Amino acid sequence: MDVELSEILDTLCEYAPFADLKDEPILQEMVKDIEIQYLRVGEWAIAPEARNDNLFFIRSGAVETKNKSGKLLRRMHEGDVFGSSSLLRGGRSSHTMRALEDSLLYRIPARWFIQFYSEFDSFSDFFELSKEVRLKTAVDSQSSDLSLMTCPVHSLLRRPPITASHDVDIKTAANIMSNERVSSLLITQNDALVGILTDRDLRNRVVAKGLPLDVRVDMIMTQDPVTVDAGDFASEAVLKMMATNIHHLPVVKNDRPIGVISTGDLVQRESHGSVYVISDIYKQEDVEGLVQISKKMEHVFTQLVNADANTQMIGNAMSHIGVAFVKRLLQLAEREFGPAPIPYCFLALGSQAREEQIISTDQDNALILHDSYDKNIHGDYFRELSDYVCKNLDRCGYPLCTGDIMAMNPRWRLSLSDWKKTFAEWIEKPKAEALLHVSIFFDLRGIYGDKTLARQLNSHIRELAKTNKGFLSALARNANQRTPPLGFFRQFVLDGEGKQSRTFNLKSRGIAPIADLVRVHALALGSSKLNTFERLEDIEEAGVMPDGRARDLILALEMIGMVRIKNQKNQIENGDSPNNNVNPETLSEFERRHLRDAFNIVSRQQEFLKYRYPGKG
Amino acid sequence: MNPKNVPENWQEAYAQLAQECQSPALRRFYEAGVPGLSKPLAETPLVSLDIETTGLDSSKDDVISIGLVDFNLELIRLNSARYWLAKPHGPLTPESVTIHEITHSEIQDAPRLSSLMDDLLEAIAGKIVVVHCAAIERPFLYQAAMKHYGEPLMFPMLDTMGIEASIIHKPWWQRFGRQPSLRLDACRQRYNLPRYRAHQALMDAVSCAELFQAQAAHHLNKKHLASDYSC
């Protein structure tokens, strides 16, 4: 090309969808046909009722889109394109576009849009794919996992398949499963795979429906299940499982089943490094040893990130490690202070309970004591035990909770009955303000001791919560308090001061709002799940959200989580202490665009939450 | 007539120049006149022009590139863009090369400016030329015509630098500290326009056209005659 307009070409090529066309000579021809337009704030790029014959590229400034009834649909900034939908409808425009600030626009005549649209898949894909699909593609391409990419599916198989013939009855099938300790059973007919039966099927299709146990298994199995070929790369299996939302994937070779891989297999594969850490933790005979191991945690974390594990795998691995520290400390404590005089259960709260822990999280924990607890007799023992655990966790890299939500705080060391009363108080007389400080208690997992105490408390909470509208709407209101930083591309709605003033917090503005809003739905459903991804699956199954929206949130969480994790990895590698703050300028165009899509999804789901659980203000 | 004395009445000056002029190309240029000058700004056809030179002295230094692009207050049409390199008479000085980044080898085979003059006149005839800093562009183009045709080339200009100066002008008793810069890039930043790499004649012409659109949108009356703002 003549060098003279290369500056304009270069700018276009920094952004999708032009970036993919940057080596196409035809793009240089297009640049010569651009018209440039300066708009003052408030002027129309596409006025109401006007025809549109251009694709617009925002070179500087900002433009807002509204629909016919005047509702704001989107704010667009430097590098965004608009006008495509009216071009695809022959120029009829249903949205208006107006400058939000003084803007410089490049107008690309319609004929170029139409030519590129028909010639280049990457170009048409960009416009065809809805925001959500674009995000999914992004998540998929990010989790294109090095190790999983290169290892074939059959290398993940650990045992021959457990199968049953299609004509056995349910009871026989269930017996095989429990004898073999598997959560899924392949159903065959003349050695060919015809179906799959999972724990969940037995629960949902048999027990819940009250079906007799002599019904033949082929009446309730999933027929013609999705399978993966033994020679396929494991990453394809991951994508299939994600796309179809299943947890067990039969592996076939020449149509014969040779095994099953489960999400668990993939997690273990990805976090095998962390499995060693866990066994190391249990080998330590004193706190000093644990402190030494804790120094390796950043390394373990960066290893997981570098192995391209997804956020769910990393959250899972880091939480299990965190739990191992707690358990080992409790074992050492019981060695020092003697066995507990009465049953108790140590609780993980918040992200550790949800199995979404990452590096550098404060400890949040509590203690349930058996109802035979007598403060005068047992008080000292549990005070010493809790002090020991919490203070040593602090030494192991899990700082004391600034909100004092810890077992060492006597307020959070209660008997089961007192816990039940406390929760009943919170749920039946909800005060939004007060709930804000205790929302963390609604993600609660027993990790050591008598876990039936935790289970009883959880089912008590579930029973109360799901019928209590006032509580749900108070919780919903709280969940909407922290909003995603939608304007951050240009307006920089940034948190904080000083050193971090050019950053925003991915946890409080992205991940926490998702966890919060998902918790409300999950409690309303009475779901027993704690993990946000798993809760979303329950939510999807129950149809609480409009079709597909739960999947969108899963993708949004994965996207935001991935940016956070990679950011932390970079901080560690630069010798900084990892935190949740990200500087938008350090993000790639890819990350920025998809992060914004993700935030848009969160924002819409916050709106939905408001509508779903309305309450007095 | 010389580039320091700009005529009061361009219509009259063009008529006179058209009569006196010997070279056909110049005569055609003057005969086309400047119809846009007596029209409201919004209806005036504009052409933005920028030149790169080997130095700042129009009597000694040469024009080595010219860029121009047609526009109006609504749109800048890149498909009207023209760009020429011209071979200078003297050698390129290292200082100038660092500014415009045009090197010897690039202009070795370029035509002389003389042979481009007819095309240049045709491209700007009937339009009002917009430049950033008329005080430099005008004498260079005047000299170029003198060298090639032996006759003067003068035309009205809209000068974004002059316009910006009048926009930000304050009486001396209100001034304090450093005066705001009138460089093209500095002016553009006052209008939220993007940063471009400077000193490439065509991009500078585009850049100047954008600046004029922005100035017009913010400060000029589109119903006023173009002659109210020209120099």
CA A445 and chain centroid, separation: 19
Structure tokens given for A315? 């959250």
CA B67 and chain centroid, separation: 9
Residue A519 scores a pLDDT above 90? yes
Q: Assess whether A477 and A540 both reside in one domain.
A: yes
Q: Assess whether A387 and A330 both reside in one domain.
A: yes
Q: How, if at all, do strands B46-53 and B128-131 pair?
A: parallel
* Chain B hits for A104, Cβ within 8 Å: 192-194, 210
CB within 8 Å: B79 and A102? no
A495: pLDDT confidence band, cut at 50, 70 and 90? very low
Q: Which of residues A227, A244, A266 is at a domain's end?
A: A266
User: What pLDDT does residue A489 have?
Assistant: 52
A141 in any annotated domain: no
Beta-sheet strands, E only, within chain B: 46-53, 63-71, 76-77, 82-85, 128-131, 157-159
Q: Assess whether A290 and A261 both reside in one domain.
A: no
CB within 8 Å: A7 and B203? yes
pLDDT per position as a tens digit, B137-190: 999 999 999 888 888 899 999 999 999 998 887 666 666 666 788 899 999 988
Q: Assess whether A500 and A613 both reside in one domain.
A: yes
At A558, give phi and psi (nearest 5°). -65, -45
A573 in any annotated domain: yes
Model confidence, pTM: 0.49
Non-local CB neighbours of A464 within 8 Å, separated by 6+ positions: A423, A424, A427, A428, A471
A151: pLDDT confidence band, cut at 50, 70 and 90? low
Nearest to A32 among B78, B200, B210 (CB): B78
Residue identified by tokens 């390796």 is: A296
Window from A59-63, A321-325, B121-125, B226-230 with minimum mean pLDDT: B226-230
**Contact with chain B for residue A596, Cβ under 8 A:** no
Q: What one-letter code names the amino acid at A479?
A: A
A494: pLDDT confidence band, cut at 50, 70 and 90? very low
A144: pLDDT confidence band, cut at 50, 70 and 90? very low
Non-local CB neighbours of A345 within 8 Å, separated by 6+ positions: A367, A368, A446, A448, A449, A450, A451, A452, A453, A454
A361: pLDDT confidence band, cut at 50, 70 and 90? confident
Q: Assess whether A304 and A234 both reside in one domain.
A: no
Q: Identify the structural domains of chain B with CATH numbers, from first to last.
A: 10-169+178-228 (3.30.420.10)
Q: Assess whether A547 and A480 both reside in one domain.
A: yes
Q: Assess whether A282 and A239 both reside in one domain.
A: no
C-alpha to C-alpha distance for B200 and B208, rounded to whole angstroms: 12
User: What pLDDT does residue B120 have?
Assistant: 95
Nearest to A36 among B192, B200, B206 (CB): B206
Q: Assess whether A228 and A297 both reside in one domain.
A: no
The number of distinct structural domains making up chain A is 4
What CATH number is attached to the domain comprising A111? 2.60.120.10
User: What pLDDT does residue A266 have?
Assistant: 66
Q: Assess whether A314 and A253 both reside in one domain.
A: no
A588 in any annotated domain: yes
Chains A & B: contacts with CB separation below 8 Å:
70
Average pLDDT score, chain A: 85
Taking the CB of residue A491, how many other CB atoms lie within 10 A of it?
A: 14
Q: Assess whether A379 and A507 both reside in one domain.
A: no
B41 in Cβ contact with B220 (< 8 Å): yes
Residue A228: domain span: 147-266
- Of these ranges, A197-211, A235-249, A483-497, the one predicted with the greatest mean pLDDT is A197-211
Q: Which of residues A266, A300, A317 is at a domain's end?
A: A266
Please report, rounded to a whole number, the percentage of residues in chain A having pLDDT higher than 70.
Answer: 89
CB within 8 Å: B78 and A37? no
Residue A373 scores a pLDDT above 90? yes
**Contact with chain A for residue B107, Cβ under 8 A:** no
A548 in Cβ contact with A132 (< 8 Å): yes
What CATH number is attached to the domain comprising A291? 3.30.460.10
